[in-house]
A and B are shown apart, each in its own frame.
Chain A
Amino acid sequence: MAINTEYIGRTYEPSEPYEVSRVKIAEFADAVGEPSPLCRDRAAAQAAGYPDVIAPPTFAIVVSSADSSKVTSDPGLGVNYAMIVYGEQSFTHVRPLHAGDVVVSQSTIEGIGQVRSLTTLTTVTEIRTVDGEHVCTARAMLIERGA
Chain B
Amino acid sequence: MAGPGYDDVAAGTELGLQQYQVTRRDLVRYAGASGDFNVIHWNERVAKSVGLPDVIAHGMLTMALAGRFLTDWAGDPGAVTEFGVRFSSPVVVPDDDKGALVEISGVVTGKLEDRQVTVDVTVRSAETKVLTRAHAVVRLAAVPAQGGDPLEPP
Contact = CB atoms under 8 A, between A and B. Distances in A.
A32 B64 contact: yes
Given A30-B33, A54-B77, A89 B68 contact: no
A31 B29 contact: yes
A106 interface: no
Contact of A32 (B32, B50, B65, B81): B65
B82 A31 contact: no
Chain B residues touching A, range: 20 to 34
A114 interface: no
Interface stretch (B6-14, B83-91, B120-128): B83-91
Interface string A43-75: 000001010001111100110011000000000
A110 B12 CA distance: 34
A33 B65 contact: yes
Given A58-B60, A61-B34, A62-B34, A90 B82 contact: yes
B82 A91 contact: yes
B36 to A, nearest CB: 7
A39 B81 CA distance: 16
B1 A28 contact: no
B59 A92 contact: no
Contacts of A34: 64, 67-68, 71, 77
Given A28-B34, A31-B29, A88-B87, A93 B77 contact: no
Nearest to B59: A86
B85 A89 contact: yes
B20 A56 contact: no
A57 B71 contact: yes
A46 to B, nearest CB: 13
Interface in B11-50: 20, 26, 29-30, 32-36, 50
B30 A89 contact: no
Interface in A84-129: 85-93, 95-96
Contacts of A88: 84-87, 133
26 contacts: A28-B33, A30-B33, A31-B32, A32-B30, A32-B68, A33-B20, A34-B64, A34-B68, A36-B76, A39-B77, A48-B1, A54-B77, A54-B78, A56-B68, A57-B71, A57-B78, A58-B63, A58-B64, A61-B60, A62-B33, A86-B87, A88-B85, A89-B59, A89-B84, A91-B84, A92-B81
Interface of A: 24, 27-36, 38-39, 48, 50, 54-58, 61-62, 65-66, 82, 85-93, 95-96, 139
Interface of B: 1, 20, 26, 29-30, 32-36, 50, 59-61, 63-65, 67-68, 70-72, 76-78, 80-87, 133
Interface pairs A-B: 9 shortest CB-CB: A90-B84, A31-B33, A96-B78, A32-B64, A57-B80, A58-B64, A57-B67, A36-B77, A31-B30
